[in-house]
Amino acid sequence: MTDSVPTIYDVAKLARVSTYTVSCVVNKSAYVSPELTERVRQAVRQLDYTPNAVARSLQTRSTKTLGMLIPDIANPFYARVVRGVEDRLSKDGYSLLLGNTYNEVAAQARYLNLFRGRQVDALLLFMTAGGEDAVERMVRDKRPVVCVGRVPQNFACDSVSADNITGTKLAVEHLIKKGHKTIGLIAGELGLSAGMDRAQGWRAALRKHRIKADDSLIESGDWTEAAGCEAAHRLMDHSPAPTAIFAANFLMMTGVLRALKERKVAVPAAVEVSSSDDSEWLDVFSPPITTVVQPSYEMGERAADLALRRLADGNRPFTKVVLEPALRVRS
């Protein structure tokens, strides 16, 4: 034996069997007698042999790997989505390559090229604003793609998202019932379905309660804490200033709280803050924050399942899954 990486030929020689027998035992692709199976397994352990995934992918035309793009793993919402994806994929023996785009088109393009080079079997992604064209080309070329959280506006593909219109309506109506009439919205990026839907839900809740929907109370941002802070400062400069603010995600909500602290505005006494995306951290958070709970783990599971179904049948009709959110009231 040498210090070189052991190969299937080394295992076959040590076990005194053919390379075909080794492949059948390692990949569990055909019956091998218990005696030969044990000899192969002993040789594998002795040599510390690891199957060559690249060689196998050339034979099977599958890497058993999916790629996934998310905006930022630091956001607890995306971490739970990824957990759902990985748990579902592991049941079918698939692995996941993960990339963070930070909502940048250039980063999305870079990762798409990387995943293409790694020959991932399918792609799951939260699209960046302005990045739809590249994804549309992949769908048109019949590459397996699932859009997560953000639904394309100009083409059809498999997608899984939450009902952000209903979720925002629930949160805004809760604020209205508490007596608020001037409610600011930090909607995220309005060029994405997630941002547009939240603006639509905000307007619908106000109209239902016969409150004028003043669009100057809608602010956008790139889903980061810094964007939430800047947007909250702009809202508080509005006349009249809002008595409540709904932020489209967890990170922007923390930015809102930072801005209000900088202005020495009491929360919730002077301005009440509500948010989309829940976190167990908020159960011990002060002040208490009422949130729209998105089924993030289920979103990941369903997205992975759609990708596997697309791999099994590339010609089936596209599926659009919309999951229902819930309101978690913290007093």
Regarding whether 253 and 185 lie in a shared domain, the answer is yes
Residue 12 neighbours by CB under 8 Å, 6+ apart? 18, 19, 21, 22, 43
Regarding whether 273 and 215 lie in a shared domain, the answer is yes
In contact, 131 and 209? CB cutoff 8 Å: no
Regarding whether 157 and 173 lie in a shared domain, the answer is no
In contact, 328 and 290? CB cutoff 8 Å: yes
Does 68 map to a domain?
yes
Does 1 map to a domain?
no
How many structural domains does the chain have? 3
Q: What is the CATH number of the domain that holds 307?
A: 3.40.50.2300
Low-confidence ranges of the chain (pLDDT < 70): 1-3, 52-62
Does 2 map to a domain?
no
Regarding whether 282 and 188 lie in a shared domain, the answer is yes
Reported as a single tens digit per residue, the pLDDT across 163-206 is 999 999 999 999 999 999 999 999 999 989 999 999 999 999 99
Q: Give the separation between CA 115 and CA 129, rounded to whole angstroms.
A: 20
Q: Given this model, what pLDDT does residue 3 score? A: 59
Does 170 map to a domain?
yes
Regarding whether 266 and 187 lie in a shared domain, the answer is yes
Strand 145-148 with 95-100, pairing:
unpaired
Regarding whether 198 and 131 lie in a shared domain, the answer is no
Structure tokens at 138: 């992949």
Q: What is the CATH number of the domain that holds 26?
A: 1.10.260.40
Question: pTM for this structure?
Answer: 0.80
Q: Given this model, what pLDDT does residue 60 score? A: 47
Q: Give the separation between CA 74 and CA 66, rounded to whole angstroms.
A: 21
- How many Cβ atoms are within 10 Å of 280's Cβ, its own excluded? 8
Q: Give the separation between CA 210 and CA 212, rounded to whole angstroms.
A: 6
Q: Domain range holding 122?
A: 63-162+296-324
List, as one string, the DSSP characters of 129-188.
TT-HHHHHHHHHTT--EEEESS--SSS--EEEEE-HHHHHHHHHHHHHHTT--SEEEE-S
